């Protein structure tokens, strides 16, 4: 074995600089640096040191060949079992070196071999204990604290040979634990496995996999910009299904065998509530559960609405990731073996400008810059060029991303007719009830078209379930009370009115202890909520902050729990709440409440005008 290591160390590519004892080696980190010839440690006559060694005084350490990427390695070194050679059996041709130099070089490599073997054995022992789950957390913590290029090199060798031995499961487990992949998957699975319906924090939780229905996703989009209201686009989009389109499965977004170049950045657009965020959720969950896209090492979902909270803070890309995903603390993002995906969901909700033309260039993941600079450089590929990017947006905001930064444009069209029915059958456990609701919705063209939007399917299911339950209760009591029996909604206005009524009634029962069948609208609250909806629509805002709520006279607590109309979004790290944001569950709900607000104002003004006129008449 000593002979083989000497031959490898004295290979033709090694140079020793004057003034150093360090044997430099050719980096195999890219295709340009690798030698066509791979190490051959079979029995051959050692090459003459005279022809291959150039010595630089003062150096005695041999550096390692990097095996950090699959592209940089050829065939593995061929280690053959041979009896160890004694120092006397090895002869070297050193120019004018004499016996002293001969013995010195032998001693150097014998000592070097001993140190390398001891180091590798220690690292292998540590890796073995991690795989055996013997104090795994302690060994993983120790590895992260002592991690450096030499320990990563030992890990790379271990992973390489494990996979050569077809021990992929052991290699994946080891890599996953040591670089935080498995803890990240566990965290994301816990976060994304459920769908919160209704009020965040207090809402009913449903497992995503139980109700998820595939969406109709196509490559490309209509070239003409549609300035119509998003709701009115639905019927048009529904008819487009009849035309020839390239349909794409969400899990294959970054696969395009027909294209020569690799897809790095995907932009997915779709109208409000069409299923963009749920598609992201399903994509991440399938990865975290080990079902799809396992070639990706890390997925970092970063919703734009949460990034809004960091608009004033300068930080590096690594710090940003650590703040959102503390499991990956200390991760070396530039490690060539890693395939990383960043998901930026909800571009239309981002309140900061994205200055792609004027921003400074940033190429270092450790450089602290503004969020604007960080995102534009990441999307353009200046920063972490190997990373994959997925951005979702409503159509109106999609143009914020320059066309030359997008490799694939996709559009989510929502549910086709068959998928609408599939959703209700999955969403409702009582199949008789599901069938009754489907039949009712099919009777109204406007309701059936609106069910193209998954969020509206949920609204319809919530309302119609409640109406049917109420009818059953009345039938069981053998009485009919006109004040409590509600007519089954047949129009959009009726559906939204029932939904608002139901949410307020549920909140009163849950938080105020009210459980009476009688219902009265809280006009002051509706006016306050309507003012918020109307004013934010005028400003083209779909998210708002506590100050916006207070300006409209809305209690922050009631905004999230009393009405059920708003969803609180906040992120908490190490006990520090970064901030809170609010939004209506769907744009159409915000528009309905804004319209209701205008209607109430008009009604109030009419009454005031009538009273004023009556007083004027009496005075005369």
The reply to whether 264 falls in a domain is yes
Q: Tell me the percentage of the chain whose pLDDT exceeds 70.
A: 68
Q: What is the mean pLDDT of the chain?
A: 75
Q: pTM for this structure? A: 0.69
- 234 with 302, same domain: the answer is yes
CATH number at residue 570: 1.10.10
Residue 485 lies in domain: 417-512
Asked if 296 and 203 count as a contact pair (C-beta separation under 8 A), the reply is no
Q: How far apart are CA 534 and CA 255, in angstroms?
A: 42
Count H helices, E strands: the chain?
Answer: 22, 12
Least confident of 44-53, 185-194, 354-363, 376-385: 44-53
Q: Is residue 101 part of a domain?
A: yes
Q: What is the pLDDT of residues 99-146, one digit of tens each?
A: 778 888 889 999 999 999 999 998 898 888 888 877 777 777 778 777
Q: Are residues 423 and 401 in the same domain?
A: no
Helical ranges in 89-180 per DSSP H: 98-131, 136-146, 149-164, 168-178
CATH of the domain at 382: 3.40.50.300
405 and 428 share a domain?
Answer: no
**pLDDT, tens digit (0-9, with 9 covering 90-100), for 62-80:** 333 333 344 444 444 444 4
Nearest to 347 by CA among 301, 305, 380: 305
Domain end point (choices 512, 534, 555): 512
Q: What is the mean pLDDT of residues 538-557?
A: 82
- Among residues 472, 556, 462, 467, the alpha carbon closest in space to that of 503 is found at 462
pLDDT at 41 over 70: no
Select the highest-mean-pLDDT range: 514-523, 536-545, 610-619. Answer: 536-545
Residue 595 pLDDT level (bands cut at 50, 70, 90): very high
Residue 609 lies in a domain: no
Give 164-174 pLDDT, tens digit per residue.
Answer: 999 988 888 88
Is the confidence at residue 8, as pLDDT, over 50? no
pLDDT of residue 571: 53
Average pLDDT rounded to a whole number, residues 530-550: 86
Structural domain ending residue among the three candidates 117, 143, 178: 178
Tell me, yes or no, whether 172 and 197 share the same domain. Answer: no
Asked whether residue 185 is assigned to any structural domain, the reply reads: no
Q: How large is the angle between the packed helices 98-131 and 168-178, nearest 10 degrees? A: 90
Out of 146, 178, 210, a domain closes at 178
pLDDT of amino acid 181: 87
348 and 491 assigned to the same domain: no
Same domain membership, residue 546 and residue 576: yes
Q: Are residues 429 and 344 in the same domain?
A: no
Q: How many domains does the chain have?
A: 4
Position 256 scores a pLDDT of 79
- The reply to whether 400 and 437 lie within a common domain is no
565-576, pLDDT tens digit by residue? 666 665 544 444
In a domain, 608, yes or no: no
pLDDT of residue 207: 87
592 lies in some domain:
yes
Task: Give the pLDDT confidence score for residue 63 in this predicted structure.
Answer: 37
CB 144 within 8 A of CB 332: no
pLDDT score of 292 more than 90: yes
pLDDT at 288 over 80: yes
What was the pLDDT predicted at 29?
38
Q: Say if residues 198 and 204 touch (Cβ distance below 8 Å).
A: yes
CA-to-CA distance for 314 and 368, rounded, in angstroms?
Answer: 6
Residue 429: its H or E element: none
Whether residue 614 lies inside any domain: the answer is no
Co-location of 20 and 134 in the same domain: yes
> Does some domain include residue 583?
yes
Please determine, for residue 299, whether its predicted confidence score (pLDDT) is greater than 70: yes
**Integer Cα distance of 388 and 402 in angstroms:** 16
Average pLDDT of span 336-346 = 89
Are 507 and 529 members of one domain?
A: no
Q: Same structural domain for residues 232 and 257? A: yes
pLDDT tens-place string over residues 225-273: 333 344 444 444 444 444 557 888 999 999 877 667 789 999 999 988 8
Instruction: Indicate whether 421 and 405 sit together in one domain.
Output: no
């Amino acid at each position: 074995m000593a002979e083989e290591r000497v031959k490898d160390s004295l290979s033709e590519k090694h140079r020793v600089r004057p003034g150093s004892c360090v044997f430099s080696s050719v980096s195999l980190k890219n295709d340009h640096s690798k030698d066509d010839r791979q190490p051959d440690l079979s029995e051959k006559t050692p090459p003459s040191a005279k022809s291959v060694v150039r010595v630089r005084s003062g150096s005695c350490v041999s550096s390692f060949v990097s095996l950090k990427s699959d592209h940089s390695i050829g065939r593995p070194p061929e280690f053959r079992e041979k009896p160890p050679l004694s120092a006397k059996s090895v002869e070297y041709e050193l120019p004018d070196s004499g016996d002293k130099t001969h013995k010195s070089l032998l001693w150097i490599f014998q000592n070097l071999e001993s140190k390398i073997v001891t180091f590798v054995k220690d690292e292998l022992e540590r890796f073995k204990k991690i795989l055996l789950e013997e104090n795994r957390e302690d060994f993983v913590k120790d590895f992260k604290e002592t991690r450096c290029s030499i320990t990563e090199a030992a890990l790379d060798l271990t992973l390489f040979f494990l996979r050569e031995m077809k021990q992929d499961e052991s290699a994946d487990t080891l890599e996953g634990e040591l670089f935080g992949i498995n803890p990240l998957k566990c965290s994301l699975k816990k976060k994304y496995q459920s769908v919160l319906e209704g009020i965040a924090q207090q809402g009913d939780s449903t497992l995503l996999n139980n109700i998820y229905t595939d969406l109709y996703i196509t490559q490309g989009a209509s070239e003409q910009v549609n300035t119509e209201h998003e709701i009115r686009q639905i019927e048009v989009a529904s008819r487009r299904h009849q035309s020839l389109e390239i349909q794409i499965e969400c899990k294959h977004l970054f696969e395009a065998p027909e294209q020569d170049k690799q897809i790095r950045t995907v932009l997915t657009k779709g109208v409000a509530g069409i299923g963009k965020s749920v598609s992201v959720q399903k994509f991440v969950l399938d990865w975290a559960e080990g079902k799809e896209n396992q070639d990706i090492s890390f997925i970092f979902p970063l919703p734009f609405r949460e990034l809004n909270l960091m608009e004033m803070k300068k930080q590096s890309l690594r710090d940003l990731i650590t703040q959102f995903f503390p499991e990956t603390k200390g991760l070396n993002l530039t490690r060539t073996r890693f395939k990383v995906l960043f998901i930026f969901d909800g571009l239309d909700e981002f309140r900061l400008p994205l200055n792609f033309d004027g921003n400074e260039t940033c190429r270092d993941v450790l450089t602290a810059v503004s969020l604007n600079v960080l995102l534009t450089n990441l999307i353009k590929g200046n920063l972490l060029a190997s990373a994959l990017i997925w951005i979702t947006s409503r159509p109106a905001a999609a143009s914020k991303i320059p066309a030359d930064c997008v490799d694939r444009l996709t559009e989510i069209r929502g549910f086709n007719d068959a998928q609408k029915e599939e959703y209700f059958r999955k969403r409702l456990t009582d199949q008789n009830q599901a069938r009754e609701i489907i039949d009712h919705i099919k009777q109204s063209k406007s309701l059936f078209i609106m069910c193209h939007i998954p969020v509206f399917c949920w609204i319809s299911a919530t309302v119609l379930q409640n109406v049917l339950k109420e009818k059953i209760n009345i039938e069981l009591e053998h009485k009919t009370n006109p004040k409590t029996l509600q007519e089954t909604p047949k129009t959009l206005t009726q559906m939204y009115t029932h939904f608002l009524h139901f949410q307020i009634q549920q909140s009163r029962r849950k938080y105020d202890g009210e459980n009476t069948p009688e219902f009265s609208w809280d006009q002051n609250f509706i006016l306050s909520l309507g003012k918020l909806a109307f004013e934010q629509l005028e400003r083209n805002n779909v998210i708002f902050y506590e100050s916006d709520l207070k300006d409209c006279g809305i209690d922050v607590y009631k905004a999230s729990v009393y009405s059920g109309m708003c969803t609180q979004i906040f992120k908490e790290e190490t006990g520090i709440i970064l901030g809170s944001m609010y939004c209506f569950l769907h744009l159409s709900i915000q528009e309905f409440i804004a319209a209701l607000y205008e209607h109430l104002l008009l009604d109030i003004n009419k009454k005031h005008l009538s009273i004023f006129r009556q007083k004027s008449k009496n005075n005369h």
